[in-house]
């Protein structure tokens, strides 16, 4: 199919105003913030309905055209770069919130619904309900964050955001539509159970098994009381020990922290090259809530006991510093009082490049992983930027190493790639597994994975997508 035929066929499906093939637009869809190689698509198409997506998929099947689904492109893994060209299916105009079920506590939404959209909708129409929000820009897609096992401010309680999915509607590579979860048999999207859990065929598959068009995501009653605070730790060991002890209490909704360079950026300081010996090495962040004043007082006693025990052993914590009090001193910090965050302190820098090696792993080797990653970053000439999070009540934890770099400098891009490879190796040796896995990492890791796991993934991919049209270039395909 030549260029004119392709554009004409796409225009017949979605209308000519929703098809783009000019050079400037294609260049914008070819790249992201990361060090991953850009690739130009042949065209960009912006559907607004499930029948349009079905028709696009059938056209792609008939002509062996690669399809790359995309929304906000904030994944920081190169996952929406059209590695083999073809068509980018931009879903950001599918922004309907179909249902908020206050009894079953879920929202049914489309791919283009952002975290800012969801928050605004709940505050206007269901102020008694809350959602989980990530450390991502407000314009990030709720659906994509959940499909990619992202993090959220309720991850201490629930784990990755994939656990918040009650069910999906998906256009398969054949053009057929399938529902997963209880909604496959019921009009209510109340749970993934008790049917066979086919939702997993689309979680963390990075768009290689179908295009998700609807998702039911869990909600919660809004607590009457909440406390958010920072705790400044003198060194990594004491910071990680506190998180270890705190994880066992079940106190928190969210518990994590940042190393000192990110802590500086967080509070508006731009110099991240040299740490003052008297400066905290780690900035801990805690968040807990309660339905009643008595419950809040009881939780506060747990926190007080944790801090008293740590200080009795000689740890010189500063704080806790309540976010609300910090805002009174410095109003610009209001952005940290509510999720989703703007993240301007890492997104807005002269070089424009942002990447990470994000991993999930056991608490037992968490500190060793942080120390190893910090050593790699410093040795390679990068500030030791990383974030941590306790997940699912302490069953596992997050280590995410962040690099800011100059995308205009090819030598620096190569240095970033090397650092990420070293970080990947170091984390794997300590039992940490990367999430939102870039394709280069998947290819390098294939031999490390269980052979049965790799074989089953290959079988499922061939079965669902025999032509290999769905986001090719991901994983090892």
Both 262 and 301 in one domain: the answer is yes
**Of 361, 344, 348, 352, the residue nearest 423 (C-alpha):** 361
In a domain, 412, yes or no: yes
Residue 162 DSSP one-character state: G
pLDDT digits (tens, 9 = 90+) for 361-406: 999 999 999 999 999 999 999 999 999 999 999 999 999 999 999 9
Burial class (CB in 10 A: 0-12, 13-18, 19+), 40: middle
Residue 111 DSSP one-character state: T
Both 250 and 394 in one domain: the answer is yes
Both 68 and 173 in one domain: the answer is no
Q: What is the pLDDT of residue 338?
A: 65
Residue 264 DSSP one-character state: H
Both 186 and 243 in one domain: the answer is no
At 326, the pLDDT band (50, 70, 90 cuts) reads: confident
Q: What is the mean pLDDT of the chain?
A: 93
DSSP character string of 290-311: ESSHHHHHHHHHHHHHHHHHHH
Both 230 and 356 in one domain: the answer is yes
pLDDT digits (tens, 9 = 90+) for 454-470: 999 999 999 999 999 99
Residue 192 DSSP one-character state: S
pLDDT digits (tens, 9 = 90+) for 129-149: 999 998 888 899 999 999 999
Q: What is the pLDDT of residue 458?
A: 97
Both 336 and 243 in one domain: the answer is yes
Total of domains in the chain: 3
CA atoms within 13 A on the CB side of 343: 16
218: which 2 tokens?
């869990």
Both 160 and 216 in one domain: the answer is yes
* Cα four-point dihedral sign 404, 409, 413, 414: negative
At 339, the pLDDT band (50, 70, 90 cuts) reads: low
**Of 201, 198, 160, 192, the residue nearest 436 (C-alpha):** 160
Both 371 and 233 in one domain: the answer is yes
Structural domain of residue 46, as residue ranges? 3-90
Q: At residue 81, does pLDDT exceed 70?
A: yes
Q: What is the pLDDT of residue 268?
A: 73
CA distances from 468 to 66, 164, 208, 274, 459 (A): 8, 29, 8, 48, 12
Question: Where is the domain boundary, 221, 247, 262?
Answer: 221
In a domain, 465, yes or no: no
Is the CB of residue 67 less than 8 Å from the CB of residue 57? yes
Distance CA 422, CA 416 (A): 10
**Of 170, 158, 151, 134, the residue nearest 54 (C-alpha):** 170
At 331, the pLDDT band (50, 70, 90 cuts) reads: confident
Question: Where is the domain boundary, 75, 90, 105?
Answer: 90
CATH code of residue 84: 3.30.43.10
């Amino acid at each position: 199919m030549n260029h004119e035929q392709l554009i004409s066929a796409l225009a017949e499906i979605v209308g000519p105003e929703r098809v783009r093939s000019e050079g400037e637009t294609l260049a914008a869809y070819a790249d992201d913030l990361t060090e991953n190689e850009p690739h130009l698509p042949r065209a960009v198409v912006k559907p607004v309905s499930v029948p349009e997506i079905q028709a696009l998929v059938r056209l792609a099947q008939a002509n062996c055209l690669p399809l790359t689904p995309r929304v906000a492109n904030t994944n920081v893994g190169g996952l929406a770069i059209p590695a083999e060209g073809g068509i980018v299916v931009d879903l950001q105009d599918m922004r309907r919130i179909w249902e908020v079920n206050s009894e079953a506590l879920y929202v049914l939404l489309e791919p283009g619904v952002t975290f800012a959209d969801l928050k605004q909708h709940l505050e206007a129409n269901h102020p008694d309900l809350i959602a989980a929000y990530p450390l991502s820009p407000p314009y990030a897609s709720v659906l994509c964050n959940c499909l990619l096992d992202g993090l959220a401010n309720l991850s201490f309680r629930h784990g990755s955001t994939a656990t918040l999915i009650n069910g999906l509607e998906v256009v398969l590579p054949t053009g057929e539509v399938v529902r997963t979860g209880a909604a496959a048999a019921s009009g209510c999207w109340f749970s993934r159970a008790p049917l066979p859990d086919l939702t997993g065929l689309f979680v963390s598959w990075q768009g290689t098994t179908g295009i998700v068009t609807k998702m039911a995501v869990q909600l919660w009653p809004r607590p009457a009381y909440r406390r958010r605070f920072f705790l400044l730790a003198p060194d990594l060991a004491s910071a990680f020990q506190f998180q270890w002890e705190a994880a066992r209490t079940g106190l928190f909704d969210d518990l994590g922290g940042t190393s000192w360079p990110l802590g500086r950026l967080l509070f508006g300081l731009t110099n991240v090259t040299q740490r003052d010996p008297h400066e905290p090495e780690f900035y801990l962040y805690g968040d807990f809530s309660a339905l009643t004043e008595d419950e809040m007082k009881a939780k506060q006693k747990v926190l007080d006991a944790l801090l008293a025990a740590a200080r009795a052993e000689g740890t010189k914590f500063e704080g806790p510093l309540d976010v609300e009090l910090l805002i009174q001193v410095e109003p610009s910090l209001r952005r940290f009082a509510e999720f989703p965050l703007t993240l301007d302190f890492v997104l807005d820098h002269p070089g424009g490049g942002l990447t990470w090696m994000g991993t999930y792993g056991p608490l037992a080797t968490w500190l060793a992983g942080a120390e190893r990653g910090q050593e790699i970053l410093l040795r390679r000439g990068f500030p030791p930027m990383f974030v941590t999070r306790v997940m699912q009540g302490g069953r596992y934890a997050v280590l995410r190493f962040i690099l800011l770099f100059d995308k205009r400098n090819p030598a620096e891009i190569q240095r970033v790639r090397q650092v990420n490879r070293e970080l990947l190796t170091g984390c794997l040796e300590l039992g940490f597994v990367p999430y939102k896995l870039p394709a280069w990492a998947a290819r390098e890791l294939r031999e490390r994975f269980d052979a049965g796991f790799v074989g089953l993934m290959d079988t499922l991919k061939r079965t669902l997508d025999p032509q290999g049209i769905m986001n090719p270039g991901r994983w090892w395909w």
